[in-house]
Structure 1
Amino acid sequence: MAGLLQEYADLISITGGDAYKARAYEKAARAVAGHYQDVAQLDAKGLRQIPNVGRSIADKVAEYLASGSVPEIEELRARIPAGVRQLIAIPTLGPKKANVLYQELGISSVEELVDAIHAEKLRGLKGFGTKTEENILHGVRLMQSAGDRVLINVALELADELVEELSAVTGCVRCSYAGSLRRFRETIGDVDLLAAAEDPEPLMRTVTELDTVAEVIAHGQKKTSVRTRSGLQVDVRVVAPEAWGAALQYFTGSKAHNIRTREIAVHQKLKLSEYGLFDVDSGDLVVSQTEEEVYRRLGLPWIPPTLREDRGEVEAAQRGELPDLLTEQDIKGDLHTHTDLTDGVSTLEEMVEAAARRGYSYYAITDHAPNLYMQRMSDEKMLAQRERVREMDGKHRRMRLLHGTELNIDADGEVDWPPEFLAGFDLCVASVHSYFTLPRERQTRRLLKAIENPYVNIIGHPLARQIGRRPEIDVDLDAVFEACARTGTALEVNSFADRLDLRDEHIMHARRYGVKFAIDSDSHSTVHLGYLRYGVGTAQRGWLTAAEVINTWPLTKLRAFVRAKRPR
């Protein structure tokens, strides 16, 4: 439903419609996506209770849920070729430019656009220069590199649902997801599920009959592959219960990690496969029931799935130096969240209540600052929110509330408010929200200036990427990591599934400088608070321990961290 509303907003923009109306539908799309209830279960009155969903939008949602279509949207779709609608999926190319390309040059597909750029046909259009061409081509490459892969939250939500359904099948002893999903890769090509049962037939039959299945690709006793209604392929394998551990280790991967473990087995005159660990000479099964005993027989401790990428984890295991990885249970509070005061869709009260239900010791509200103009923040609004936060402090399961803000790092590294105003916040996150294409030297300089600011405690989504849509900013990472370590400025691992910024490789790099981190949800809705699991998974892939993450610390230690950077 959120996708449909966003499409309508794009169609309005493409056809030159009212910009205010397009913006209203964009806001409604975000609100619906972040709403805590299933909109399919709401009537028109219930739909109007969703922030930014008025009568007209609610009526369209209700109409779609009842009939499967909305005449106004179908009418606009008919006016614009499908290929033009695909153009706006290209990162860096918005609806207005897509409309110009179609109206002026008749371009109605990605392929036609690429050909037109190479033929230099865009250069006569107002607003289309060589830099625009470069940006569009880069956006096309980004879109194509994503291919059929989906963000981890899409795959994991589906996998959780399927594991629950298959676990309930009579005879199913165990069921889990495996593959890149279990390793918490940021994008997933297909979902691998593994189940254990003496008789695989009931499980395999159930897989083909699931409501979410649109197509059965292959059906067998050991493996069944299906395609869901959302287009995602799911491969389900069933093994004997006694082979569970070896199969889970094998199908989790990665391929490079499995090559290393098989090499270790060979040196011990053993053979490792998805069926178990066998003695080469006798052919006898040695172990297979659990991953722990498979690794132990190879002379290794159990290696967490998030580390299994052949990036030194085997050597660390052999030396007894595997990190004690951070877990979601270690997180004591979320330090980057939003409310409907700016671009969130849940109220302050709703966000605080939801955070308290998660058992947090503390929780920070960090709405946007005024230089992000479309959020219409003011000093008065922020101070009024602070007063309300102080009133609510400690009243939700004794959870302490921190009043912060997400500042905007401008092109020169300045932030929104002067020092005397910033001093009133409990903590400040500062993030890049614009000027993404600045040259490397200037981009680095702006980030360093923000890091040096004594009131900036966390750099939010440090490289400003959006997976498949916007690349990382070009910056000298070594200079950034050194400055953060020196000044006591934490780098965020943003848990929003289309960001996961910093990436795992960056985390591994930054750790060597002694940088501290914050794992935050960047929530814009109560639903988003659960996204923290994706940030924790990314942090684990970066080998992070709880001691390196500031929001695993007690509040007294966190406050001391903030005070240490501020002027005395």
Structure 2
Amino acid sequence: MRRCNEEVAGLLQEYADLIAITGGDAFKVRVYEKAARSVGGYGRDIDGMDAAELRAIPNVGESIAAKIEEYLRTGSIHRLEELRTKIPAGVRMLTTIPTLGPKKAMLLYQERGIDSIEKLEDAIRAGDLRGLHGFGPKTEENLLHGIEVMRKTGSRVHIGTAMAVAEEIVPALSAVPGCERCAYAGSLRRMKDTIGDVDVLATAKDPAALMAAFTTLPYVTEVIAHGDTKSSVRTTAGLQVDLRVVPRDSWGAALQYFTGSKAHNIRTREIAVHRKLKLSEYGVFDVATGEKITSADEAEVYGMLGLPWIEPTLREDTGEIEAALAGQLPKVVTLADIRGDLHTHTDLTDGLAPLEEMIEAAAARGYAYYAVTDHAPNLFMQRMTDEKALAQRERLRRLGAARHGMTLLHGCELNICPEGEVDWPPEFLAGFDLCVASVHSHFTQPPEEMTRRLIRACENPYVKIIGHPTARIIGRREPVDADWTRVFDACVRTGTALEIDSFPDRLDLPSDLVRRAADMGVLFSIDSDAHAVPHLDVMRYGVGTAQRGWLTPDRVINTWPLDRLREFLRPG
């Protein structure tokens, strides 16, 4: 499941939310929010740390360290439990609605008795909020939109949450005596943005023993179903996990079937019928004789259909069958192709780790190059200045001179302002190795204005990458509305790459737009947007999104050798 760090970070954030809801000191709220971010992004696992080690974490003082110690020792935080009793759980849930803060959530409860998202929606539509301070027509419109955004993801979770669950369960089951094979399948294997539940497949000499081990895992909170070959549980992350134990000689067919998608499987079964075969989760069968032809190996299953093995991330019936039949499947980019990360942050702005730690962690990944791109000054809360940027550049130069095997690049993440201008003038931007430019505000501009804004950023000769282009946050903020065809044309014309931001709640540019842009000749950069050492690991989710967009390595600038990359980054 999640590292202890994430569990504690969640509790500290909840503590901050409850302080805010109950009208507590705003400074204290910010202290706990900062501590939550620091603990969640800390490079070491805090489980087993003593008080001194906990206090060494940035933004963790004596009082917060004591609460963390209490949780590590007892499994709960007494003060948090006390606060929970004062606030209905539904009020806390209200604060998950985009644009609805804790104070307004508490006001809704105190003045209108609203303690659920459903009651809030009903009250808005019935006009029951009229006259309530701070809830005018525009606020009501924003709240309804926020509820709609939340419902689009429903009970689905970000891929990072689902992957953490799968990568805990699969090794645990693989270690059970008699387990022969175990893997996750479903939409997680296809690397979809959000996951409804996790499908796990296994073969075992003793299926009953594997089922017993599965249903008694320490992070299982509910056993939904318990059978001889299939069981379902709910975990502490709130995610349903289904385990199926299949016969050894059905492994390949089952893996193909339960990976999906449904539309892809319909197409493969149709092909089987035309070849006088039957395809199911049990194997490929000769219709005339009923004989099982193959099923143990997934590639052989595809082979019997006259198809090459198809990458799981492509299995959505969006042309992959036709491409496979024509011998034109793309050789999609892989994590092994990535030579460097071109969008990362340090504690100079809103990152959690110092420059040296981020560099060491990047070097450990075997990168050929690594860019530090802290925020520029127009994002005022980050307190960046010309002097800080120049001092960081000098530190990078010194560190780069002492390091062998990885080239350090000094960059910045600029803000694309409402009219398309960016933070620094050309003469200052000329000193950076690269500039990423991103939308960080004014997300609801009309489409024509947003389109002009993005195109103008592309036309800046120093901007070589547009960061998280749609600015979406999955389940929290809708993508900006722009004429993407015109934006993609501008990228090709100006030689500007579009980023695939790998953070699990962004995955931006989304895969459907990646494919459209790639077809038009746009280049891409797959980046972590890391704000802490553990965040460097999210690169694989961006690669998965790129694969879903049929992206090949030659279209990704950070798969290129350094000399070719530097040539691309040169202002022009």
TM-score (norm 1): 0.97
Q: Counterpart of 1:122 in 2: which secondary structure?
A: coil
Deviation at 1:144, TM superposition (A): 2.4
Q: Counterpart of 1:16 in 2: which secondary structure?
A: coil
Task: Tell me which residue corresponds to 1:40.
Answer: 47
Aligned: 1:135 with 2:157? no
Bigger shift: residues 385-394 or 72-81: 72-81
Equivalent-residue separation in structure 2 for 1:126 and 1:156 (angstroms): 43
Task: Tell me which residue corresponds to 1:514.
Answer: 521
Equivalent residue in structure 1 for 2:118, among 98, 102, 111: 111
Aligned: 1:299 with 2:306? yes
Cα deviation digits, residues 36-91 of structure 1 (max 9, x gap): 22222212211111112122221222223333443443343333332221111111
With over 3 angstroms needed to count, the CA separation of the structure-2 counterparts of 1:207 and 1:5, relative to structure 1, is same
Written as runs of structure 1 = structure 2, the 5 A alignment for 1:138-153 is 138-153=145-160
Equivalent-residue separation in structure 1 for 2:474 and 2:346 (angstroms): 24
Task: Tell me which residue corresponds to 1:421.
Answer: 428
Equivalent residue in structure 2 for 1:379, among 383, 386, 395: 386
With over 3 angstroms needed to count, the CA separation of the structure-2 counterparts of 1:373 and 1:556, relative to structure 1, is same
Equivalent-residue separation in structure 2 for 1:262 and 1:484 (angstroms): 40
Equivalent residue in structure 2 for 1:478, among 464, 485, 497: 485
Equivalent residue in structure 1 for 2:275, among 268, 282, 304: 268
Task: Tell me which residue corresponds to 1:258.
Answer: 265
Written as runs of structure 1 = structure 2, the 5 A alignment for 1:179-190 is 179-190=186-197
Task: Tell me which residue corresponds to 2:173.
Answer: 166
Q: Counterpart of 1:39 in 2: which secondary structure?
A: coil
Deviation at 1:125, TM superposition (A): 3.9
Written as runs of structure 1 = structure 2, the 5 A alignment for 1:200-279 is 200-279=207-286
Deviation at 1:305, TM superposition (A): 0.3
Equivalent-residue separation in structure 1 for 2:164 and 2:89 (angstroms): 29
Bigger shift: residues 497-506 or 147-156: 147-156
Task: Tell me which residue corresponds to 2:34.
Answer: 27
Task: Tell me which residue corresponds to 2:467.
Answer: 460
With over 3 angstroms needed to count, the CA separation of the structure-2 counterparts of 1:433 and 1:17, relative to structure 1, is same
Aligned: 1:401 with 2:412? no
Bigger shift: residues 95-104 or 301-310: 95-104
Task: Tell me which residue corresponds to 1:55.
Answer: 62
Equivalent-residue separation in structure 1 for 2:131 and 2:383 (angstroms): 37
Give the counterpart letter for 2:10 in structure 1.
Answer: G
Equivalent residue in structure 1 for 2:72, among 50, 53, 65: 65
Task: Tell me which residue corresponds to 1:357.
Answer: 364
Deviation at 1:209, TM superposition (A): 2.5
Cα deviation digits, residues 4-53 of structure 1 (max 9, x gap): 11112222222333222212211111111111222222122111111121
Bigger shift: residues 205-214 or 497-506: 205-214
Equivalent-residue separation in structure 2 for 1:222 and 1:25 (angstroms): 46
With over 3 angstroms needed to count, the CA separation of the structure-2 counterparts of 1:72 and 1:206, relative to structure 1, is closer
Q: Counterpart of 1:359 in 2: which secondary structure?
A: coil
Equivalent-residue separation in structure 1 for 2:226 and 2:127 (angstroms): 50
Task: Tell me which residue corresponds to 1:18.
Answer: 25
Task: Tell me which residue corresponds to 1:327.
Answer: 334
Indicate if the aligned counterparts of 2:473 and 2:506 stay in contact, CA closer than 8 A. yes
Q: Counterpart of 2:182 in 1: which secondary structure?
A: strand
Indicate if the aligned counterparts of 2:174 and 2:181 stay in contact, CA closer than 8 A. yes
Equivalent-residue separation in structure 2 for 1:70 and 1:251 (angstroms): 41
Equivalent-residue separation in structure 1 for 2:13 and 2:302 (angstroms): 48
Give the counterpart letter for 1:298 in structure 2.
Answer: L
Equivalent-residue separation in structure 2 for 1:247 and 1:40 (angstroms): 38
Equivalent-residue separation in structure 1 for 2:181 and 2:403 (angstroms): 38
Task: Tell me which residue corresponds to 2:452.
Answer: 445
Equivalent-residue separation in structure 1 for 2:121 and 2:537 (angstroms): 39
Equivalent-residue separation in structure 2 for 1:405 and 1:376 (angstroms): 14
Equivalent-residue separation in structure 2 for 1:214 and 1:107 (angstroms): 29
Aligned: 1:156 with 2:156? no
Equivalent-residue separation in structure 2 for 1:211 and 1:396 (angstroms): 44
Equivalent-residue separation in structure 2 for 1:115 and 1:361 (angstroms): 55
Deviation at 1:158, TM superposition (A): 1.4
Indicate if the aligned counterparts of 1:495 and 1:535 stay in contact, CA closer than 8 A. yes
Indicate if the aligned counterparts of 1:451 and 1:487 stay in contact, CA closer than 8 A. yes
Q: Counterpart of 1:321 in 2: which secondary structure?
A: coil
- Detail structure 1 runs of 4+ shifted over 4 Å in the superposition: none
Give the counterpart letter for 1:355 in structure 2.
Answer: A
Unaligned stretches of 5+ residues in structure 1 = none
Deviation at 1:397, TM superposition (A): 4.5
Equivalent-residue separation in structure 2 for 1:224 and 1:308 (angstroms): 26
Indicate if the aligned counterparts of 1:370 and 1:378 stay in contact, CA closer than 8 A. yes
Indicate if the aligned counterparts of 1:356 and 1:397 stay in contact, CA closer than 8 A. no
Indicate if the aligned counterparts of 2:48 and 2:72 stay in contact, CA closer than 8 A. no
Equivalent-residue separation in structure 1 for 2:76 and 2:216 (angstroms): 27
Equivalent-residue separation in structure 1 for 2:492 and 2:186 (angstroms): 35
Deviation at 1:126, TM superposition (A): 4.3
Task: Tell me which residue corresponds to 1:122.
Answer: 129
Cα deviation digits, residues 178-200 of structure 1 (max 9, x gap): 11111011111111111123432
Give the counterpart letter for 1:226 in structure 2.
Answer: V
Equivalent-residue separation in structure 1 for 2:129 and 2:454 (angstroms): 34
Task: Tell me which residue corresponds to 2:494.
Answer: 487
Deviation at 1:246, TM superposition (A): 0.8
Equivalent residue in structure 1 for 2:398, among 369, 382, 391: 391
Indicate if the aligned counterparts of 1:352 and 1:396 stay in contact, CA closer than 8 A. no
Deviation at 1:483, TM superposition (A): 0.7
Give the counterpart letter for 2:225 in structure 1.
Answer: A
Cα deviation digits, residues 441-467 of structure 1 (max 9, x gap): 111121111111111111111111111
With over 3 angstroms needed to count, the CA separation of the structure-2 counterparts of 1:79 and 1:227, relative to structure 1, is closer
Equivalent-residue separation in structure 1 for 2:265 and 2:443 (angstroms): 39
Indicate if the aligned counterparts of 1:198 and 1:240 stay in contact, CA closer than 8 A. no
Equivalent-residue separation in structure 1 for 2:395 and 2:415 (angstroms): 23
Cα deviation digits, residues 342-388 of structure 1 (max 9, x gap): 11111100000000000000000001111111111111111111000
Equivalent-residue separation in structure 1 for 2:526 and 2:458 (angstroms): 18
Indicate if the aligned counterparts of 1:356 and 1:396 stay in contact, CA closer than 8 A. no
- Work out the number of aligned pairs and report it: 565
Give the counterpart letter for 2:207 in structure 1.
Answer: P
Equivalent-residue separation in structure 1 for 2:114 and 2:550 (angstroms): 47
Equivalent residue in structure 1 for 2:184, among 154, 177, 191: 177
Identical-pair percentage: 66
Give the counterpart letter for 2:77 in structure 1.
Answer: V
Equivalent-residue separation in structure 1 for 2:375 and 2:104 (angstroms): 28
Bigger shift: residues 361-370 or 433-442: 433-442
Q: Counterpart of 1:173 in 2: which secondary structure?
A: strand
Indicate if the aligned counterparts of 1:269 and 1:279 stay in contact, CA closer than 8 A. yes
TM-score (norm 2): 0.96
With over 3 angstroms needed to count, the CA separation of the structure-2 counterparts of 1:284 and 1:555, relative to structure 1, is same
Unaligned stretches of 5+ residues in structure 2 = 1-7
Cα deviation digits, residues 215-264 of structure 1 (max 9, x gap): 22222222121222222111111112221111110111001000000000
